[in-house]
């Protein structure tokens, strides 16, 4: 049997558990815990005048009711601002329970704990909160225009303002370069709110051990280590006394990287205060109004270009809606403004964004995290240039590509990790060639003409992106071989369905030369690994994958050293196959890894037959040497970290053929093609799955999903009945092709694939609809009724 598993389409190891109902998601735990529920603000902007809980006191099974006034010390302070940035001059975060003022519908005001969730909700319904209404601010332009402030001390509702400018090679600024260009265009683009919307909402379950004075928290999070630090700091518990575990998580897509949520502080605090286990599982309406959204931006574009469509100057102004608070900082607009450039080198670039407060749900990363908006902007620009010049859209893109011999390529900007935006590798012309071939770009005009003869309207579109993946600061891996020959791998970052138990096991099995079945992987459990950043930005495979590989190499080196002693061989002549270390070319001189694990730990006490070999009278170590050599450690285990100098850059290009109904303006995606470069693939089955899922979310964002707020700040479609996510009937068959340009930045050459699928979809669909309809598409999503109206506007 081969142990070269890296790169193989191995079936997932988490599946048998999840397919038989043996998964353990947050609400599957703590069946006897008390249940928490929240009274949430029904108003977008109001002052709390009075909270009357008396009506709820008679509810049978009621255990406790808490308001802000009950929260002690730091628990009553505003939640942390996770990612400070000098440009975020007016960062504001919420209190765990509202103090005086509520700033969006859904903000938690009162926490109720009762015997079960039904009773807790009964009590919530009987609590009366009296509000004095304040004028709500909805929409970024309204926020800038109106005199009403979301936060009294934030003038103009502007939380942050950031300008980045890269002059052209001849030293011109963007404005000057555009001015001097032979052709110029200016236009505006509008992008709506959507949301991650995992099918499992958030949830927290806490147990306080009063005897041990220790806290265990389970939370449906993308970053258990960071929740642990926040809980320990906020509740004043020594860090070693707090454990945080992400159990099986039913999807994240970004929303669960935000932390600590108010509930992640309140539920553990209540568990400690009450001395009882407490659990809260979010319901769907809560998820709509009390978690996070993303995407909404207004973009103003000025571009100057030459006769070939080469961009000489690009100036983009972005108004970014970050909702009522900024706990996650300004990562999303930073990513939009830097990743906007995609695979292109532009003459001069200037980008400016304002990140703006509104009385709506907070905005934190959703898969793609600002990139879909940036790509929408750049790709709409490319299409407009092509249209203006009467050139092929693919040719205009090709004219602007960074060439394969120009890597590493410095875009001259500062990226989301605070480091220079330098692309590591890629081959954009080849990707485009593959895409054109896959979708049949050059033969499309015939297909369109053929369809037109039948009265059908077809269009083709494309979109290109570059995605900074695998951002730091670091991840770690721990690998232990136990005396039964099993390999136990752990890493601190979390899993939400990406198949980490499988891909990390593939890496470990390949590195150590052991069968896959012998490897087990634990993620997101601070009992096993305390140092981590989290799962976001397509970074898990790059960061933890490499850290685990490095830890395995340490283990292997030690194993070979011990085996060399035992076999009286040179470690350089040894290799490991199927969990057995052997001398190359001599099949009899061999020792199982299990035995090496035994020998690695000099013992006084035997605990089984095998372990007798390591005891002190067994002669395992020569009497003239210490049993554990200086600088060595007992046990066959290793820990290592991977901390890259900067991000890797995956890339890809998508194309679609759509049909628009001449009467109903319905849009049907006939074909969807993806060419994708995530460096070396660990498991192509899983990479493809990530792409499929991303494209489906992209289709939702392009055609269906939007958060509809009215002028009062009420979210009108806070249910799956009205917020339209694609079903199987809406997602086209996705055709994929892969290109592998290894990253030179990490030992495994991988780049990360988690977000790739979603990033260019809105741009691609807009491009195709524009091609079918013959007028510019300037917004996402685009519903049939909007397309219908646009036709009327353009007299089409």
Partner 1 sequence: MHSITLVVNGVVREATVPARTLLSDCLRHHLGLTGTHVGCEHGVCGCCTVLLDGEPVRSCLTLAVTADGHEITTVEGLAGPDGEMSPVQRGFNECHGLQCGFCTPGFLCTATALLRDNPDPTDEEIVEGVAGNLCRCTGYQNILKAVRRAGELIREEA
| Positions that interact with ligand FES (CB under 6 A) | 199, 251, 497
Stretch that binds partner 1, among 90-98, 250-258, 375-383, 575-583 (CB under 8 A): 250-258
Q: What is the dihedral of CA 13, 16, 18, 22, to 10 degrees?
A: -120
Q: How far is the CB of 725 from partner 1 (least distance, A)?
A: 6
Q: Please identify, using beta-carbon distances, which residue of 453 and 733 lies nearer to partner 1.
A: 733
Q: How far is the CB of 281 from partner 1 (least distance, A)?
A: 8
Q: Please identify, using beta-carbon distances, which residue of 284 and 561 lies nearer to partner 1.
A: 284
27 binds, among ligand FES, partner 1, none (CB under 5 to 8 A by kind): partner 1
| CB neighbour burial string for 235-255, b if at least 16 within 10 angstroms, e if fewer | bebeeeebbbbbbbbbbbbbb
DSSP per position, 235-246 = HT--GGGEEEE-
- Total number of residues that touch partner 1 (CB under 8 A): 55
Q: Please identify, using beta-carbon distances, which residue of 253 and 269 lies nearer to ligand FES.
A: 253
Q: How far is the CB of 251 from ligand FES (least distance, A)?
A: 5
Q: Please identify, using beta-carbon distances, which residue of 250 and 492 lies nearer to partner 1.
A: 250
Distance separating alpha carbons of residues 341 and 597, to the nearest angstrom: 51
Q: Please identify, using beta-carbon distances, which residue of 106 and 497 lies nearer to ligand FES.
A: 497
Q: Where are the beta strands (DSSP E) in 501-552?
A: 519-523
- Helix H or strand E segment including 790: helix 784-793
Closest by CA position to 162, among listed 372, 33, 383, 320: 320
Stretch that binds partner 1, among 83-91, 160-168, 244-252, 444-452 (CB under 8 A): 244-252
SS3 252: coil
Q: Please identify, using beta-carbon distances, which residue of 381 and 494 lies nearer to partner 1.
A: 494
Q: Please identify, using beta-carbon distances, which residue of 256 and 779 lies nearer to ligand FES.
A: 256
517 is a site residue for partner 1 (CB under 8 A) = no
Q: How far is the CB of 66 from ligand FES (least distance, A)?
A: 29
729 binds, among partner 1, ligand FES, none (CB under 5 to 8 A by kind): partner 1
289 token code pair: 């109004």
Q: Using CB under 8 A, which residues numbered 706 to 745 contact partner 1? A: 719-721, 725, 727-729, 731, 733-734
Q: Please identify, using beta-carbon distances, which residue of 283 and 450 lies nearer to partner 1.
A: 283
DSSP per position, 439-454 = HTTTTHHHHHHHHHHT
Q: Is the peptide bond before 415 cis (omega within 30 degrees of 0)?
A: no
Distance separating alpha carbons of residues 717 and 722, to the nearest angstrom: 5
38 token code pair: 């929240």
Residue in 7, 8, 14, 414 binding partner 1, rule: CB under 8 A = 14
Q: Please identify, using beta-carbon distances, which residue of 58 and 728 lies nearer to partner 1.
A: 728
Which positions ≥6 away from 61 have C-beta within 8 Å? 114, 115, 116, 119
12 is a site residue for partner 1 (CB under 8 A) = yes
Distance separating alpha carbons of residues 413 and 62, to the nearest angstrom: 55
356 token code pair: 């703006």
Q: Please identify, using beta-carbon distances, which residue of 450 and 735 lies nearer to partner 1.
A: 735
Closest by CA position to 774, among listed 756, 753, 791: 791
Q: CB nearest ligand FES: which residue?
A: 199
Binding pattern for the stretch 259-298 against partner 1, x by CB under 8 A and - elsewhere:
------------------------xx--------------
N-to-C CA span, the chain: 64
Which positions ≥6 away from 625 have C-beta within 8 Å? none
249 is a site residue for partner 1 (CB under 8 A) = yes
| Angle, helices 393-400/428-439, rounded to nearest 10 degrees | 170
Residue in 118, 145, 239, 449 binding partner 1, rule: CB under 8 A = 118
Distance separating alpha carbons of residues 86 and 334, to the nearest angstrom: 12
Q: Where are the beta strands (DSSP E) in 542-643?
A: 574-577, 580-583, 586-592, 636-642
186 is a site residue for partner 1 (CB under 8 A) = no
Q: Please identify, using beta-carbon distances, which residue of 264 and 282 lies nearer to partner 1.
A: 282
- How far are the Cα atoms of 73, 306, 348, 444 from residue 122, in angstroms, in the given order? 30, 67, 60, 60
226 binds, among ligand FES, partner 1, none (CB under 5 to 8 A by kind): none
Residue in 2, 4, 22, 645 binding partner 1, rule: CB under 8 A = 22
Whether residue 365 contacts residue 330, with contact meaning beta carbons closer than 8 Å, is answered with no
149 binds, among partner 1, ligand FES, none (CB under 5 to 8 A by kind): none
Distance separating alpha carbons of residues 439 and 775, to the nearest angstrom: 23
Q: Using CB under 8 A, which residues numbered 200 to 239 contact partner 1? A: 200
∠ CA(32), CA(35), CA(39), 5° rounding?
175
Q: How far is the CB of 693 from ligand FES (least distance, A)?
A: 8
Q: How far is the CB of 459 from ligand FES (least distance, A)?
A: 31
Q: How far is the CB of 560 from ligand FES (least distance, A)?
A: 41
Q: Please identify, using beta-carbon distances, which residue of 118 and 133 lies nearer to partner 1.
A: 118
Whether residue 302 contacts residue 184, with contact meaning beta carbons closer than 8 Å, is answered with yes
Q: Which residues bind partner 1 (CB under 8 A)?
A: 11-12, 14-16, 18-25, 27-28, 31, 116, 118, 197-200, 248-251, 253, 283-284, 496-499, 685-686, 688-689, 691-697, 719-721, 725, 727-729, 731, 733-734, 757
């Amino acid at each position: 049997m081969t142990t070269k598993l890296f790169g193989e389409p191995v079936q997932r190891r988490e599946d048998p558990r999840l397919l038989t109902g043996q998964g353990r998601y947050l609400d599957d735990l703590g069946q006897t815990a008390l249940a928490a529920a929240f009274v949430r603000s029904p108003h977008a902007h109001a002052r709390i005048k009075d909270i009357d809980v008396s009506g709820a006191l008679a509810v049978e099974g009621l255990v406790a009711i808490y308001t802000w006034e009950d929260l002690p010390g730091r628990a009553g302070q505003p939640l942390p601002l996770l990612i400070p940035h000098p440009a975020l001059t007016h960062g504001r975060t919420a209190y765990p329970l509202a103090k005086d003022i509520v700033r969006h519908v859904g903000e938690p005001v009162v926490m109720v704990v009762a015997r079960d969730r039904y009773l807790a909700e009964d009590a919530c319904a009987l609590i009366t909160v009296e509000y004095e209404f304040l004028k709500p601010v909805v929409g970024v332009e309204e926020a800038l225009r109106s005199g009403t402030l979301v936060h009294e001390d934030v003038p103009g509702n502007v939380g942050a303002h950031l300008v980045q400018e890269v002059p052209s090679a001849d030293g011109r600024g963007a404005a000057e370069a555009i001015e001097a260009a032979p052709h110029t265009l200016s236009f505006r683009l509008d992008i709506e709110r959507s949301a991650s919307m995992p099918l499992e909402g958030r949830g927290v379950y806490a147990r306080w051990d009063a005897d041990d004075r220790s806290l265990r928290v389970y939370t449906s999070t993308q970053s258990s280590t960071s929740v642990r630090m926040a809980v320990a700091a906020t509740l004043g518990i020594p860090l070693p006394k707090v454990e945080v575990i992400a159990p099986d998580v039913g999807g994240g897509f970004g929303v669960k990287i935000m932390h600590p949520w108010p509930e992640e502080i309140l539920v553990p605090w209540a568990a400690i205060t009450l001395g009882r286990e407490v659990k809260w599982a979010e319901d769907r309406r809560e998820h709509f109004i009390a978690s996070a959204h993303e995407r909404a931006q207004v973009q103003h574009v000025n571009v100057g270009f030459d006769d070939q469509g080469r961009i000489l100057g690009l100036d983009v102004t972005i108004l970014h809606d970050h909702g009522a608070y900024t706990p996650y900082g300004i990562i999303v607009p930073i990513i939009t403004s830097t990743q906007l450039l995609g695979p292109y080198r532009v003459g001069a670039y200037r980008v400016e964004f304002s990140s703006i407060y509104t009385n709506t749900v907070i905005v934190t990363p959703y898969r793609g995290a600002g990139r879909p908006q940036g790509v929408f902007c750049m790709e709409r620009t490319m299409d407009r240039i092509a249209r203006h010049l009467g050139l092929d859209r693919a040719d205009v893109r090709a004219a602007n590509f960074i060439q394969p011999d120009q890597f590493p390529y410095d875009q001259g900007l500062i990226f989301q990790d605070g480091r220079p935006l330098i692309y590591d590798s890629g081959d954009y012309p080849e990707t485009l060639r593959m895409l054109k071939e896959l979708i049949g770009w050059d033969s499309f005009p015939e297909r369109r003409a053929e369809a037109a003869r039948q009265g059908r309207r077809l269009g083709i579109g494309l979109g290109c992106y570059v995605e900074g993946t695998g951002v730091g600061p670091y991840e770690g891996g721990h690998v232990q071989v136990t005396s039964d020959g099993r390999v136990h791998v752990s890493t601190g970052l979390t899993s939400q369905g990406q198949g980490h138990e499988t891909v990390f096991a593939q890496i470990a099995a390949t590195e150590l030369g052991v069968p896959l079945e012998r490897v087990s992987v634990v993620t997101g459990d601070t009992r096993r690994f305390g140092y981590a950043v989290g799962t976001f930005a397509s970074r898990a495979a790059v960061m933890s994958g490499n850290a685990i590989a490095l830890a395995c190499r340490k283990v292997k080196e030690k194993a070979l050293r011990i085996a060399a002693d035992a076999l009286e061989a040179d470690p350089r002549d040894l290799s490991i196959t199927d969990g057995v270390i052997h001398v190359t070319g001599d099949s009899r001189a061999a020792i199982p890894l299990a035995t090496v694990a035994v020998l690695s730990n000099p013992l006084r006490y035997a605990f089984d037959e095998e372990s007798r070999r390591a005891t002190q009278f067994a002669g395992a170590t020569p009497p003239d040497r210490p049993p554990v050599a200086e600088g060595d450690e007992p046990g066959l285990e290793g820990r290592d970290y991977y901390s890259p100098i900067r991000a890797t850059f995956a890339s890809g290009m998508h194309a679609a053929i759509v049909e628009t109904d001449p009467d109903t303006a319905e849009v049907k995606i006939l074909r969807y093609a993806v060419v994708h470069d995530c460096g070396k693939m660990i498991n192509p089955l899983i990479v493809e799955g990530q792409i499929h899922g991303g494209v489906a979310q992209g289709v939702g964002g392009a055609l269906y999903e939007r958060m509809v707020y009215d002028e009062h700040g009420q979210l009108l479609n806070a249910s799956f009945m009205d917020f339209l996510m694609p079903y199987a009937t809406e997602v086209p068959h996705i055709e994929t092709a892969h290109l592998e340009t290894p990253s030179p930045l990490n030992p495994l050459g991988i780049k990360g694939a988690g977000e790739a699928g979603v990033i260019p979809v809105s741009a691609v669909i807009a491009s195709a609809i524009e091609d079918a309809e013959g007028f510019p598409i300037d917004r996402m999503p685009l519903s049939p009724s909007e397309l219908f109206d646009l036709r009327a506007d353009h007299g089409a």
